[in-house]
Amino acid sequence: MASLESVDVIALCCTALVLLYYRYKAKTRLPYPPGPKPLPLIGNLLDIPKVSVRGFEVFAKWSKDFDSDILHIDALGKHIVILNSVKVANELCGERSAIYSTRPHLTMLSELMNGTRFMAAMPYGDAWKARRRMFQHYFPSNDPSRIAISRSEEFVRKYLLPRILDSPEEFLSHIRNTVGGVTLSLAYGLRIKRFDDPWIKLAEEALSTTTEAAVVGRFLVDVIPALKYIPEWIPGAGFQKVAKEGRRTLNSFFDELYAAAVQDIVDGVAQPSFVSLALEENNETKLQDLKEVICETAGIFFAGGSETTVVSIWNFVLLMTLHPEVQEKARREVDIVIGHARFPQFSDKASMPYLTAVLKEVLRWAPIVPAGMPHCTTADDFIVVISSLEDQSSLTMPDNHRAMLHDEVIFPNPSRFDPERFLTSDGQLRKDILDPETTATFGFGRRACPGSQIGLTSLFIVAASFLSLFKIMKPVNAQGQEVDPLVEYTGRTMVDNPSPFECRFIPRSKEAAALIQAQVLNLDEEL
């Protein structure tokens, strides 16, 4: 009978052989793109930035160190190729989108949490195409719909501005609730409570759970999928409890919101929405097959637009606080276009090139999703003759939006906040420069965010309204002196939001305050 020591040696050797097999089974005839030197057996596992580190900044540094827009790392046979320039992202995820449009299979998100109910995490295929096609039928990506515009304008007038006037110190929360209300109203037609709405809370929990699980390398089970079979009670398997709670939250978000929307339609109290339009246009027989598609497509609105829009507005407020000269110049343009007797409308955007440039610079200076959602290949491919991208089952490709939008060749002095870079000498918008509204910010190719126009619509309406009715000023210290707010970004999930910061919203005049207050007269507690 073999001794215990010999059994341990045999087990260790078998483990090593398995690791070697997975490490070298996909070895290609041509080299991968450059990257940090891998270690035996584990490859670059230790090089993957930790959750507390802003990985996209590490990738940008590697790009300079290795003088390459395309980088490669290998963790236990899992290949990760990082794209650091718009040129290569457009070529691969755009021009070759037929084979670069699926998502990597993350065990935690896809299997344990059932996160592929969100279209952004869904593999490329017929199910994804059906949901994308249905979304774009009612909300085209190249043109904000009238219902999206009117709903955004209504929520800003009737909810956001009055809340800012009443309790300006809670502006971060007011912005989040407003955007959440807009997206849920568009998707489901539900009435949203002015305070502590349970639907918004549920949706935020579902989105937070998903974005954390979507970070490549966040959970060890994504690197070693066999860990998914470990019971929750075993020490070190705490991820199983996280997964169980995440799955419950995600299913509640999709199923309960959809059921509530359908009930409002039956009761005759629903507002026009994606769900109501989809149910009205399809006959009862067809709806049997489309129910799941409609239910999961509705979830795209909040998942695809809420958090990113919130963060873009927060960034706008922060940058206006830090750059009062830019704020004042944008305000003068707003005053010229709309005066002082009405609220800004989305239709005013065409007459406001400077504010439009400001918003483009906000998106460029602080990319909302700096590392992008990773793509995954579905076929072998070759790049520029020298590099081979094979083993499509394990290749993931994050787009480093931060590196792209801070490319010194395209944007000289990229760390400087400068809206003028998007304007011609006579103050019109440039057409010869990369546009953050259409490139990099919302992804590439077939997996670009389908609801980007909804988010951009809300961003403009909020920004113009703030400038028209308030002055956004720096906070003051105990001595009454103005001080710069804290500028710190978390970078711990896919969406890079600023840490809570302070500023002061001061009504520009008594007339401005009266215009806002007139909106809340005789309103009930829901929108």
| 3 state SS of 397 | strand
Contact present, 527 and 191 (Cβ < 8 Å): yes
- Taking the C-alpha atoms of residue 450 and residue 503, their distance in angstroms, rounded to an integer, is 33
Task: Calculate Rg over the CA atoms of the chain.
Answer: 25
The response to whether 503 counts as a known ligand-binding position is no
**Residue 62: alpha-carbon gap to chain centroid:** 24
Region of 6 (left: φ > 0; alpha: ψ -120 to 50; beta: rest) is: alpha
324-338 and 452-469 are packed helices; what angle lies between their axes, rounded to 10 degrees? 90
**Residue with tokens 């929750």, as numbered in its chain:** 232
The kind and range of the H/E element at 382 are strand 381-383
Residue 329 has a CB neighbour count (10 Å cut-off) of 15
What letter does residue 51 receive in the DSSP assignment?
T
DSSP 3-state helix, strand, coil percentages of the chain (rounded to 5)? Answer: 55, 10, 35
Strands 395-397 and 78-83, by their bridges, are: parallel
- Taking the C-alpha atoms of residue 284 and residue 260, their distance in angstroms, rounded to an integer, is 19
Tell me how long the chain is: 527
- 399 strand-pairing partners: 83
- Taking the C-alpha atoms of residue 213 and residue 240, their distance in angstroms, rounded to an integer, is 12
DSSP 441-500: TTBSGGGS-TTHHHHHHHHHHHHHHHHHHEEEE--B-TTS-B-PPP--B--SSSS-PBPP
What letter does residue 373 receive in the DSSP assignment?
P
Look at residues 13, 287, 250, 16 and name the one whose alpha carbon lies nearest to residue 112.
Answer: 250
- The annotated binding site is made up of 449
Residues making up the annotated binding site for heme are: 449
